[in-house]
Amino acid sequence: MVGARGDLSIYRCEECDLEFEERIWAQRCEDHDRKYQACSIDIARHAVMSKNT
């Protein structure tokens, strides 16, 4: 998990590259990905929709 980016507090799951505003979700996502080798829809729905800027 990586921390704040610029002036935004964005946390990125290092396993699947989803980005979250809340650290807890990024952490849960990583834990889930490592455990099940797959993303969870229930976690992904909390992700920030990337604008790819």
Q: Which residues bind Zn ion (CB under 5 A)?
A: 13, 15-16, 29, 33
Q: Cβ of residue 30: shortest distance to Zn ion, in angstroms?
A: 6
Comparison of 7 and 18: residue with beta carbon closer to Zn ion: 18
Which residues, 6+ apart, have CB-to-CB distance to 33 below 8 Å?
Answer: 13, 15, 16, 39
Comparison of 9 and 16: residue with beta carbon closer to Zn ion: 16
**Are 22 and 9 in contact, with CB atoms under 8 Å apart?**
no
Q: Cβ of residue 26: shortest distance to Zn ion, in angstroms?
A: 8
